[in-house]
Structure 1
Amino acid sequence: MAPSSTISSKGQITVPLEVRLRLGLRKGDRVEFVVDGDRTVIRPARLEVNPFDEFIGALPAFETREEVIEWVRSLRDDEPESASR
């Protein structure tokens, strides 16, 4: 039998433990209900703002893989590898 719950007089439901564990939900977490055709999906609420937006532009732009490798080497203070590869 699928997990189920009863709606209270205030329209509240208790999310069954099995579902909370599957979704990684804890006390105080928000959920959203997404209507998709004839079904409704409950999922953890997504943040309106991407938490990584503040890091856009923090690193230099690279055009080639070699530029990335050289930049990482400079951070590590590595000497360039021999051309024997």
Structure 2
Amino acid sequence: MNVSKVGRRGQIAIPRLIRQELNLQEGDRLAFVRRGDEVVLQPLRKNLSDFRGSVPVSEPQDFDAIRQEVLDRRAYRSAPDGD
């Protein structure tokens, strides 16, 4: 079993064997996934731009309009009832 201690500022060191097995390098990102009483560390190998083009669209997209619609929906959901 590999063990690590939580430091003063909440930092942990990932044991060398685990880093090697997962091919983790300095600057790599990890997700902390909660599964009941456990936490699983999952390397994040891709970012959002890696998925560009993975969803087919039939026409050009107006991203400014999409962003505005998302903001409007969030504002509507967070507004007090009756406003």
Q: TM-score range by the shorter chain?
A: 0.5 to 0.7
- Listed one character per residue, the Cα deviations across residues 52-80 of structure 1 (whole Å, up to 9, x for unaligned) are 433666xxxxxxxxxxxxxxxxxxxxxxx
Question: With structure 1 as the length reference, what TM-score do the two structures score?
Answer: 0.55
Q: Which structure has the larger Rg over C-alpha atoms?
A: 1
Question: With structure 2 as the length reference, what TM-score do the two structures score?
Answer: 0.56
Structure 1: unaligned runs, 5 residues or longer: 58-85
CA contact (8 A) 1:23 1:43 kept: no
Bigger proportion of residues as helix: 2
Q: CA deviation at 1:51?
A: 1.5
- Listed one character per residue, the Cα deviations across residues 31-62 of structure 1 (whole Å, up to 9, x for unaligned) are 111001121100112534261433666xxxxx
Structure 2: unaligned runs, 5 residues or longer: 57-83
Percentage of identical aligned residues:
34
- Runs of 4+ aligned residues of structure 1 deviating over 3 Å after TM superposition are none
